[in-house]
Structure 1
Amino acid sequence: MPIDTDTKTIDHIQSLQIAFYGAGSMAEAIARGMINQKLTQPGRIAMLNRQNADRLTELNSQYGVQTILQGSSNEAFLKEADIVFLAMKPKDAAEAIAGIKPFISEHQLIISVIAGLSIASIELLLGRKLSIVRTMPNTSCTIGLGVTGISYSEAVTKEQQQLAEAIFQSVGITSVVEESYQDVITGVSGSGPAYVYYFMESMIDAAKAMGLSETAAKELVTQTVLGAVEMVRATGEEPAELRRKVTSPNGTTQAALELMSQKGLAETIASGMKRSSERAAEIGADIERSLKK
């Protein structure tokens, strides 16, 4: 079902050329979401990378997006784009963004999905103040259930904000935050899916150790997590209240939760989230230091 975006914004997006500089899984997820939600036509999307022709062939074949293999060049795609996504790996970001500086102009909207890279650093690399959107999506965007934190530079117009939010709402929900909170978003939802997968891994391993087959263990854990998440969504109740309803006095659940609490599960989760946030800040600081050399 199409997202709840006003017709004017959809019409505007459909008239724009979009270039992804970086053709990894996140760029693919966003492009697929836009195509599936009919925000734009595949021919208006260009996917660019520096050397992986096989990847470009795959993307063109699967989605119908444009690549250099259809006869144009990275430079031409960038110059013609109304929206440019910066989707390269953080370690490659400084060099790559500096390299495309000659092809970026003031009329374009720049959207970054690079963890830790600040708006100020992007402006420094591109040599001027521009309309820049800093985002932190997570991998659940791949199935349309993502979470994306969004922050704007001062130059971003209201119309451009609506464009950015419509794009990311095509792959999940959005949360507009002050840029100073982007590292927190990383610790909460950017890295968050991995915490859930790790918890599921632990439950599956424990179930197998207690005698269940791997197939049964995975099926039971997956459905248990799915059901618990859906209960929160469907009932609107707080997780703490739902937990209390499951926990009978002196029962099996209470026994398990008491031991998990004694082992410091809550503190471990909080410490891990904090460390993820700190690491995002460190990545950004490393990039900024490299720019000053």
Structure 2
Amino acid sequence: MTEHIGFVGAGNMASAIVNGLLGRNVCPAAQIAVYDHHHAHYGRFEDQGVHGVETVQQLVEFADIIFLSVKPQNYDEVLQNIKPFADGKIIVSIAAGISSAFIKKRLGESAKIVLAMPNTPLLLGEGATALCQCAPLTDAEYAIVKAIFAAGGVVQDLPEEQMTAVISVSGSSPAYVYLFAKAVIEEAVEQGIEAAVAKALICQTLIGSAKMLTDSGKEPEELIQMVSSKGGTTIAALNALYAHGFEQAIQDGMRHCTKRAEELGK
């Protein structure tokens, strides 16, 4: 890759994307720069050969592709700051609820935009990222951005009208999984199993179960049936979960996630 890549915001997601780029040799560190109000965040990037710049102007002038890895609440300020220097640049937004119309209102209708919703497993090269190509971005330009995220995991294309809802599917959902694991570990301890043992077992179970979903060719309901036998232990557990509204609780959480994303985008 010959393009120069810049990050406004030097947080965990910027670090995850940089790790993917460098770990998969997608581009050299010399072609990556970061800008953040807090220059103290630069250390982990500079240790990898990525340089931190003094001003957002320097960042935008350096980069062909600019990742806006800041909170939605800071977008107005950031977009105002980069506007004088952003003509012709590819803008990649990874903030919840921010639309292409929101960005174009501030940068102009000719702005080249990709909307992205990655998740934190990107830090380990196991991310899941939803991407949306926004006109007038070309297919070739979009392919470059897609390759950047593919270096850190799985990428799926989505239309813009689904980019808010997908936050509840993959952007926020790692937290649901961690909450489930936490509950399992805590109950295992109550039943006399050491926490470290329980954590090792549930983590591998989650990994294996995900592989069954991706590789077995079976739908979730079929896989549930494979684990369950009439009158057995799994049915007893499932019946308790159904009685507590397990599925409904997850779905309600997803709806609240989407609603909050919509609020942040206004």
TM superposition score category, shorter chain reference: over 0.9
Gaps of 5+ in 1: 1-13, 286-293
Indicate yes or no: 2:11 matched with 1:18: no
Judge conservation of contact 1:44–1:66 (CA < 8 Å) in 2: no
Counterparts of 1:131-150 in structure 2 under 5 Å? 131-150=112-131
Partner of 1:6: none
Q: 2:60 aligns with which of 66, 69, 78?
A: 78
Output the CA distance in 2 between the equivalents of 1:166 and 1:64.
21
Identity of counterpart residues, as a percentage? Answer: 34
Deviations 1:197-216 (A, max 9, x none): 01111111111111222222
The match for 2:52 among 67, 73, 79 is 67
In the alignment, the residues of structure 2 paired with residue 225 and residue 152 of structure 1 have an alpha-carbon distance, to the nearest angstrom, of 32
**Alignment-derived partner of residue 205 in structure 2:** 224
Measured in 2, the distance between the counterparts of 1:193 and 1:236 equals: 23
1:28 is aligned, of 15, 27, 30, to 15
1:244 equivalent in structure 2: 225
RMSD of aligned Cα (Å): 1.4
Contact 1:85–1:112 (CA under 8 A) maintained in structure 2: yes
With normalisation by structure 1, the TM-score equals 0.87
SS in 2 for 1:124: helix
CA–CA distance in 1 between the matches of 2:9 and 2:113? 17
CA distance in 2, matches of 1:239, 1:128: 43
Q: What code does the residue aligned with 1:139 have?
A: T
Report SS of the residue matched to 1:46.
Answer: strand
Match of 2:76 in 1: 94
1:264 to 237, 245, 255: 245
Residue of 43, 47, 53 corresponding to 2:39: 53
Who is 1:7 aligned against? none
Establish whether residue 42 from structure 1 lines up as the match of residue 23 from structure 2. no
Asked if the contact 2:56/2:81 (under 8 Å) is kept, the reply is no
Q: What's the counterpart of residue 178 of structure 1?
A: 159
Q: Is the 8 A contact 1:247 1:254 kept in 2?
A: yes
Change (3 A) 1:73 1:271: closer
In the alignment, the residues of structure 1 paired with residue 2 and residue 205 of structure 2 have an alpha-carbon distance, to the nearest angstrom, of: 44
Deviation at 1:128, TM superposition (A): 3.9
The letter for the 2-side match of 1:272 is: G
My pick for the range that moved more, 250-259 or 215-224, is: 215-224
Which position in structure 2 is the counterpart of 1:103?
85
Q: 1:96-137 CA deviation, whole Å, 9 max, x = no partner?
A: 2212211211x2111111111111111112244311111111
Distance 2:133 2:214 in 1: 29
For 1:173 and 1:140, how far apart are their aligned partners in 2? 11
3-state DSSP of counterpart to 1:110:
strand
Question: Contact between 2:130 and 2:156, CA under 8 Å: does it hold in 1?
Answer: yes
Single out whichever of 85-94 and 216-225 deviates more from structure 2. 216-225
Give the aligned length.
266
Give 1:60 shift: 0.5
Which residue identity is paired with 2:40? D
- For residues 131-189 of structure 1, the C-alpha deviation after alignment (integer angstroms, 9 at most, x for no partner) is 11111111111111111111122111011111111111111111111111011110100
Q: Distance in 2 between matches of 1:131 and 1:201?
A: 42
CA positional deviation for 1:237: 2.0
Question: Aligned partners of 1:109, 1:205: CA distance in 2, in Å?
Answer: 46
Structure 2 residues not aligned, in runs of 5+? none
Deviation at 1:236, TM superposition (A): 2.6
What is the SS of the residue equivalent to 1:183? coil
Q: Quick one: distance in 2 between partners of 1:92 and 1:214? A: 40
Aligned counterparts of 1:15 and 1:226: Cα–Cα separation in 2: 36
Matches of 2:106 and 2:199, distance apart in 1: 46
